[in-house]
């Protein structure tokens, strides 16, 4: 059975006080054994989060990384730096990085490779815009984004990824794909994985990442191909996020 993963993406939000609030809310035994939770916080809070979460089951995640090991890249952060801060997970290809900062599939692949080479677990984000969905291109777009990263990787490397399906039209809009819409896309992703390797398909953790909240989490997580969530706004509210995580158990 796949371990469920709930990852909270704070984006450019949060504070040290909020870190302490989450550390208190997630003190053991807040979570079921088969649920893993990662807090994906802004770079300046990574070390403070590591210290705050020491006595909790919370894992630490970062929002992106630079594929270069070091150098003249002002404002960037390397994989080794993330490792020294205790990071386990790192987002690659988030729709906001693609749309606002021009990251291409090639950029996403480079970041995923660097993460894997540095023993970080990439959470590969894929998803379609509203225009692409209305044009009936959802699966073409999503599977092309998945293939661009998985196809060049060695089979053993593929097994170390997590994939998050985040319909762009449902991020931060309050709109959510219905459980049936989400399941259809997740099943399509798992079907693609099965064509590569049935063991890969059976073991890959797939997250839903479009406005999951305390009210809809249980219904989404009940679907057979949804193994957790990449949570945005609700991850800034301790009670709501804890409720999502507990619904996964």
For the chain, counts of helices (H) and of strands (E) = 12, 8
Tokens of 4: 């469920």
> Taking the domains of the chain in order of start, what are their residue ranges?
4-248
DSSP bridge pairs for 126:
165
Contacts of 87 (CB under 8 A, 6+ apart): 46, 60, 61, 62, 120
Q: What is the mean pLDDT of residues 156-170?
A: 95
For the chain, the average pLDDT equals 95
Annotated binding site for substrate: 9-11, 172, 211, 232-233
The reply to whether omega before 29 is within 30° of 0 (cis) is: yes
Cβ atoms of residues 207 and 227 within 8 Å? yes
pLDDT at 124 over 80: yes
**Is residue 169 very low, low, confident or very high in pLDDT (cuts 50, 70, 90)?**
confident
Annotated binding site: 9-11, 172, 211, 232-233
| pLDDT tens by residue, 171-196 | 777 777 899 999 999 999 999 999 99
Host H or E run for residue 155? helix 155-158
Note the pLDDT of residue 13.
Answer: 98
Q: What does the alpha-carbon distance between residue 161 and residue 131 come to, in Å, rounded to a whole number? A: 28
Note the pLDDT of residue 99.
Answer: 94
Dmax of the chain from CA atoms?
48
Contacts of 24 (CB under 8 A, 6+ apart): 238
Note the pLDDT of residue 66.
Answer: 98
**Is residue 75 very low, low, confident or very high in pLDDT (cuts 50, 70, 90)?**
very high
Q: What does the alpha-carbon distance between residue 159 and residue 199 come to, in Å, rounded to a whole number? A: 9
Report which of residues 99 and 173 the model is more confident about: 99
User: Of the CATH numbers 3.20.20.70, 3.60.20.30, 3.30.390.10, 3.40.50.300, which one belongs to the domain with range 4-248?
Assistant: 3.20.20.70
| Residue 39 burial class via C-beta count within 10 angstroms: exposed 0-12, middle 13-18, buried 19 and up | buried
Task: List, by residue number, the catalytic residues.
Answer: 94, 166
Note the pLDDT of residue 175.
Answer: 73
| pLDDT tens by residue, 130-154 | 899 999 999 999 999 999 999 999 9
Q: What does the alpha-carbon distance between residue 196 and residue 163 come to, in Å, rounded to a whole number? A: 15
pLDDT at 32 over 80: no
């Amino acid at each position: 059975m796949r371990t469920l993963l709930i990852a909270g993406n704070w984006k450019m939000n949060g504070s040290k006080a909020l870190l302490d609030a989450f550390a208190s809310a997630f003190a053991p035994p807040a979570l079921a054994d088969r649920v893993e939770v990662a807090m994906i916080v802004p770079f300046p809070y990574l070390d403070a989060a590591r210290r705050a979460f020491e006595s909790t089951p919370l894992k630490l995640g970062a929002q992106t990384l630079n594929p270069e090991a070091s150098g003249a890249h002002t404002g960037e952060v390397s994989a080794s730096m993330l490792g020294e801060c205790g990071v386990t997970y790192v987002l690659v290809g988030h729709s906001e990085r693609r749309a606002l900062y021009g990251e291409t599939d090639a950029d996403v692949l480079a970041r995923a490779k660097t993460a894997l080479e540095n023993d970080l677990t990439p959470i590969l984000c894929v998803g379609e815009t509203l225009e692409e969905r209305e044009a009936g291109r959802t699966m073409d777009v999503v599977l092309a984004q998945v293939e661009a990263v998985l196809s060049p990787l060695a089979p053993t490397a593929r097994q170390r990824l997590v994939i998050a399906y985040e319909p762009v039209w449902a991020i931060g809009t309050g709109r959510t794909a219905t459980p049936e819409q989400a399941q259809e896309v997740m099943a399509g992703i798992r079907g693609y994985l099965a064509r590569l390797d049935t063991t890969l398909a059976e073991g890959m953790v797939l997250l839903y990442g479009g406005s999951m909240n305390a009210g809809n989490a249980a219904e989404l997580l009940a679907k057979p191909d949804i193994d957790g969530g990449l949570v945005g706004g609700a991850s800034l509210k301790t009670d709501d996020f804890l409720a999502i995580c507990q619904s996964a158990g």
